[in-house]
Structure 1
Amino acid sequence: MTRTRTGARPFGRTLCAMVTPFTEEGALDPDGAGKLAAWLVAEGCDGLVLSGTTGESPTTTDAEKAELIAVVREAVGDRVSLVAGVGTADTRHTVELALAAGNAGADGVLVVTPYYSRPPQEAVEAHFRAVADASELPVMLYDIPGRTGTRIEPETMIRLSSHERIVAVKDCSYDFLGTQKVLAQTELAYYAGCDEHVLALYAVGAAGCISTVANAVPGHIAAILDAFDAGDTARARELQLRITPLIVAMMGAGLPGTVTAKALLNRLGLPAGPVRAPLLPAGGEIAEGLAGLYEELVAA
């Protein structure tokens, strides 16, 4: 059966861009992945994004991606949505990954703009339509030009919104005006992909967020949106500003979020393990600083 739009929040509200736990030897850690996923859900996430940027998708194999979906699905059951990152620079490969994700138990696929080749907008649109046509899973577009080198322009988003299986966007465009334009003209469910935009984007109609910082503090991210939903905008603002120092340290201090998230998770005794090359682990001083900011946040 073809899956279509399921409402304003097709994949939930508070999603975590989950790290992919590895063993100390660098292999996929299925047991660790299941434990981390279960903890994230227990602490407030109603959706998980696997094999995204934070999940080190460029350095995991197709088989590892499928196994990760299967073990996380087993760990969390049907309580939450699982969105699988399947985007590559190759349309054919992306389609293959999307089909494999569905077979492994994903509820949707996250498809990034093809990178390196820098296709024009006509080709970008054709790429996304090809994936959506081939898979029965709902599609979340991933707009992150800082990594791919190519925007999904607002006009392209608007055209793509006509496809019945293109239902959502992970927004890392840093184009707030463009985002509002699409929100105003389509029913696409937007998810803030930058932690500093969690509250701001939610306030203008986003469905929720896909947070890297939620790997360590899922409950705090959920609480920001809970406060806004309850009409306590002052509390929501307070919570967003309170987490800002940790966002700066994890996302704005010159290291990839994968590196800082794993450093903090390892300090907290949660499954994470090392990063894969070409990434390098955070130094001890950085990990200590992250742990200190975490302690200040949870003690507040």
Structure 2
Amino acid sequence: MGLFGSAGRFVGYFGTPLTPYDDDLEIDAETFVKHVRFMVDSGVSALCWPMHLAESLNLTVEERTELARLTVAAVAGDVPVTIHTSCPGTDQVIELSRHAQRVGAAGVVVATPYHWRPVPAALEAHFAAVGQAIDIDLLTYSYPDAMQVTVDAGLAARLIERLPNYLGVKDAGYDMQDFTELCRVTSGLRPDFSVFTGIEYLLPNMAVGGAGSFSACGMVAPRLLRSLYQAVSKGDYAAALPLQHRISRLWFLLRPGYPATIKAAMEIMGRPVGGARLPILALEPAAKEALRARLAECGVLDEEPYGWDATGTPDPERAGAARA
């Protein structure tokens, strides 16, 4: 049985909501619920909060636990919910992971520990301790550029042997050789194991055996992401290729200064979620106007819903003004 109780390997893409703030940079729970529901209604396969896009490192433990509870409540069983419980210490991760289980999450996402750069044996012990402390699913998260360590195919294989609830990995290494080997090794040991990329590179990912991705662009351009996923799922690579190129262009537009850039894009799309906490700097007005023009060039303003209704219409008047 695969991730989230699926009959086989779970495939799809994860929505990763931001953390909305009010003018005082306090949690805006009402907007958070709207944001979560927008992503669910846009067609995401699962949800994960709070990834780094959601400023997980800027939140208190109390904020993380309360919004974990609120995420599960807002989704109301429509899609599986995972909670990102990464911390520097294993005991901290276990505490947050057990809380996620208590509030009804289907799984947790756990990164390699911050700062410590554990040796492989320590990494294995860390993930094993977390997996053994909970009954819900465990996904590891490999981000070698930031953490300087990785969840490679060998470590994933050892964890599969030790943990029946270890059913997925998010790989943010963006190395095609390592990703392909990770898919090959894990599928041979556990055919229902799911390997996801950190960003929406669905075409190369799924062509070599990946299960999908986590999403950074989907909250801005959900229709583009859904079209890409559908094309790749059908094996229609000719249709998927230009969509993949558009997603890549959008990501390179949103990546600098994220999540402030993504929050600014959300405001442009009529879905404001407030500013960001330091040390993340807000976009200057000129940068925000440049972003608006670039979004228009990418077709986002012409094609994506304006406002919080996922079935709503675009705002061509704003698109025309942005191009003027």
Q: Which residue of 1 aligns with 2:220?
A: 216
Residue 293 of structure 1 pairs with residue 294 of structure 2 = yes
Unaligned runs of 5+ in 2: 304-324
Q: How far 1:145 sits from its partner (Å)?
A: 1.3
C-alpha spacing 1:50/1:180, structure 2 compared with 1 (3 Å): same
Q: In the alignment, residue 131 of structure 2 is paired with which amino acid?
A: A
Question: Aligned partners of 2:228 and 2:96: how far apart in 1?
Answer: 34
Letter in 2 for 1:213: C
In 2, Cα distance between the equivalents of 1:135 and 1:155? 23
C-alpha RMSD of matched pairs (Å): 1.8
Correspondence 1:33-48 to 2 at 5 A: 33-48=32-47
Following the alignment from structure 1 to structure 2, what is the Cα–Cα distance between the partners of residues 109 and 243?
Answer: 27
Structure-2 change in CA distance of 1:178 and 1:35 (3 Å): same
- Counterpart residue number, 1:108: 107
Deviations 1:63-106 (A, max 9, x none): 21122122222222111111110011100000000001112221
Compute the TM-score of the two structures, normalised by the length of structure 2: 0.85
Seq. identity, %: 28
Q: In the alignment, what sits opposite 2:314?
A: none
Q: CA-to-partner distance for each residue in 1:151-174, whole Å, 9 max, x for gaps?
A: 123211121122211111111012
Q: State the Cα distance separating 1:50 from its structure 2 match.
A: 0.2
**Which one has more relative contact order, counting CA pairs under 8 Å at least 6 apart?**
1
Q: How far 1:285 sits from its partner (Å)? A: 2.6
**Equivalences for residues 16-165 of structure 1 within 5 A:** 16-162=15-161, 163-165=163-165
Whichever residue aligns with residue 49 of structure 2, its letter is L
Aligned amino acid, residue 246 of structure 2? R
Q: Which amino acid aligns with 1:250?
A: L
Superposed, which structure 2 residues align to 1:115-264 within 5 Å? 115-162=114-161, 163-186=163-186, 187=190, 188-195=193-200, 197-251=201-255, 254-255=256-257, 257-264=258-265
1:6 maps to 6
Give 1:289 shift.
Answer: 2.8
TM-superposed deviation, 1:5: 5.6
Instruction: Give aligned pairs, total.
Output: 293
CA distance in 2, matches of 1:70, 1:36: 15
One-letter amino acid of the structure 1 residue matched with residue 245 of structure 2: L
Q: What CA deviation, in whole Å up to 9, does each residue of 1:246-293 have, x standing for no partner?
A: 111112xx42x3121111112222142111111111222332233233
Alpha-carbon distance in 2 for matches of 1:111, 1:157: 13
Q: Does the 8 Å contact 2:153/2:185 carry over to 1?
A: no
Matched AA of 1:79 = D
Query: Are the counterparts in 1 of residues 203 and 237 from structure 2 also a CA contact under 8 Å?
Result: no
8 A Cα contact 2:110 2:140, kept in partner = yes
SS of 1:84's partner is strand
Maintained 8 Å contact 1:8/1:189: no
